[in-house]
Amino acid sequence: MANEITSLTATELNDKLQNREISATEVAKAYLNAIESKNDSLGAYLTTHPDITLQTAEEAQKLIDAGDAPLFAGVPIAVKDNISTKGIKTTCASKLLENYEPVFDATVIKRIKKNGMVMLGKTNLDEFAMGASNETSAFFPAKNPWDLTRSPGGSSGGSAAAVAGNLAPLAFGSDTGGSIRQPASFCGITGFKPSYGRCSRYGLIAYGSSLDQIGPFAKCVEDAAKVAHIVTGHDHKEDTSQPLPPIDYTKIKDGSLKGLKFAIPSELYETNAIEDGVKTCFKNMLDNLQKAGATIDVVHIPTIELGVSTYYVIATAEASSNLARFDGIRFGSTVQSDGHVNQVAATRGKLFGREVKERIMMGTYVLSADSFEAYYIKAQKIRAVMVGEMDGVLDKYNAIISPASPVTAFKIGEKNNDPVAMKIIDLCTIPANMGGYPAISLPCGFSNGLPLGMQIMTKRLDDEKALEIAYSIEREFNLKFSPEERK
Task: Indicate which residues carry an active-site annotation.
Answer: 80, 155, 179
Count Cβ neighbours within 10 Å for each residue of 90-125 and write b for 16 or more, e otherwise: bbbbbbbbbebebeebbbbbbbbbebbbbbbbbbbb
**Cα angle for residues 435, 321, 334 (degrees, 5° grid):** 135
Q: For residues 145 and 122, what is the distance between their CA atoms, to the nearest angstrom? A: 18
Q: For residues 234 and 107, what is the distance between their CA atoms, to the nearest angstrom? A: 10
Please measure the distance between the N-terminal and C-terminal CA atoms of the chain and give it in whole angstroms.
Answer: 19
Q: How many CB atoms lie within 10 A of CB 418?
A: 10
**Cα angle for residues 76, 80, 86 (degrees, 5° grid):** 80
Decide if 460 contacts 387 (C-beta within 8 A): no
Q: For residues 465 and 456, what is the distance between their CA atoms, to the nearest angstrom? A: 10
Give the three-class secondary structure for 481. coil
Torsions phi, psi for 447 (to 5 deg): -130, 120
Decide if 440 contacts 468 (C-beta within 8 A): no
